[in-house]
Amino acid sequence: MKIKIERNQKEKTPKKKKERVVSVGKHRKMVLALWLLLSCSIAFGIYKNFTAIDQHTTHEKVVVKEKVVNTSGVESFTKDFVKEYFSWKNNKEVIEKRMSTLGQYLTEEGLALSQDMVRADIPTSSEVQSVKILDVEKHSEEFTVSFLVEQKIMERKKAQAISSAYRLTIFEDENGNHVITSLPTMIAKPDKSKYEANQVESDSEIDAETTEEITEFLETFFKLYPTASEKELEYYVENNVIQPINKNLKFVEITNPIYFETKDSVRVKVIVKYLDDVEKVTHDFQYNLLLSKGENWKITNCE
């Protein structure tokens, strides 16, 4: 006999797929740290962009301010010394007094060197007429002073005026006290400059009628100018470029007028001759004027 064994087969059920779970809690700190780092990087970049120095367009300027040195004390000290040093008489007592006074200005060495400058047997005497400071240079604690001295030299009944230029060195301490460390040494006197004025001619493009008008205007103006009031000058002058002088001057003539045409104006260089009734002398006044014409000619600038 066959025995049939039946097995109950379990009904197969489909497996459920495991759902993917994203965990945010574990990496939250790292994400925040990355965002913070990124924010800091962006902020730093913006800051550098605004504060960066453009090497091509930025130019450093160094402003050097000159320090004003007060030399009035040195100049006064020099003048007082020069008056004593270059004045003498051929008299023993006067010479001794001179040397005693020079001791207030000179070092011991300088005083010793000055002993033989003036002796009692010399035939001359000297009187200082004037002292003019030419230049003062500061070197650390010392000043080099250049000056011009004018003397009246007398020998018996003969007198003559001389002028000479010298330089000396003066030491100044922190309290403003002075002492001469180098005796006067003669230098070349200042001479007249070799300046020569350029010869200027009138502008040939200005016609004769215009120059005649301007000349008549200037003659009229300068005749009344010495005694004219500010109100009277308004007709001839703009913006008070020429002020009243209220002087008793008599107009003589205008000489050497030179005319230059500029944009909408004419520049005139002119010499005006006046006679001073008080001084009884003739003055030549030089004017550099700028004139413009509206209803009439007017002086718009004066140099």
pLDDT for the residue numbered 142: 95
Across 10-24, 88-102, 149-163, 203-217, least confident range:
10-24
| pLDDT at residue 10, rounded to an integer | 47
Give the mean pLDDT of the chain: 85
Residue 63: is its pLDDT beyond 70? no
Instruction: Report the pLDDT value the prediction gives residue 1, as an integer from 0 to 100.
Output: 46
Mean pLDDT over 125-154 rounds to 95
**Boundaries of CATH 3.10.450.540 in the chain?**
72-187, 208-302
pLDDT at 84 over 80: yes
Residue 21, pLDDT > 60, answer no
Mean pLDDT over 129-148 rounds to: 95
User: Per the structure block, which two tokens stand in for 155?
Assistant: 């020998």
Q: Write down the pLDDT at residue 16.
A: 52
User: Helix and strand tally (H, E) in the chain?
Assistant: 6, 8
In the CATH scheme, what architecture does the domain 208-302 have?
A: Roll (3.10)
pLDDT single digits (tens) 216-243: 999 999 999 999 999 999 999 999 999 9
In angstroms, how far is CA 78 from the centroid of its own chain?
25
pLDDT given for residue 161 in this prediction: 96
Look up residue 1 and give its two tokens: 């006999």
Q: What is the mean pLDDT of residues 22-40?
A: 64
Burial class of residue 119 (count of CB atoms within 10 Å of its CB; 0-12, 13-18, 19+): exposed
Domain 72-187 in CATH 3.10.450.540 = yes
In order, the DSSP letters of 124-187 are EEEEEEEEEEEEEEEETTEEEEEEEEEEEEEETTEEEEEEEEEEEEEEE-TTS-EEEEEEEEEE
- The first and second tokens of residue 142, run together, are 């010392």
- Rounded mean pLDDT of 194-207? 78
Tell whether the model's pLDDT for residue 141 goes beyond 90: no
pLDDT grade for 3, boundaries at 50, 70 and 90: very low
By the 8 A CB rule, do 234 and 192 touch? no
Question: Of 14-18, 45-49, 102-106, 189-193, which range is least confident?
Answer: 14-18
> Is residue 197 very low, low, confident or very high in pLDDT (cuts 50, 70, 90)?
confident
More confident residue, 156 or 149: 149
The position carrying tokens 């030089």 is 286
Tens of pLDDT, residues 240-274: 999 999 999 999 999 989 998 888 899 999 999 99
Mean pLDDT of 103-115: 95
3-state secondary structure of 107: coil
Residue whose structure tokens are 């001389």: 162
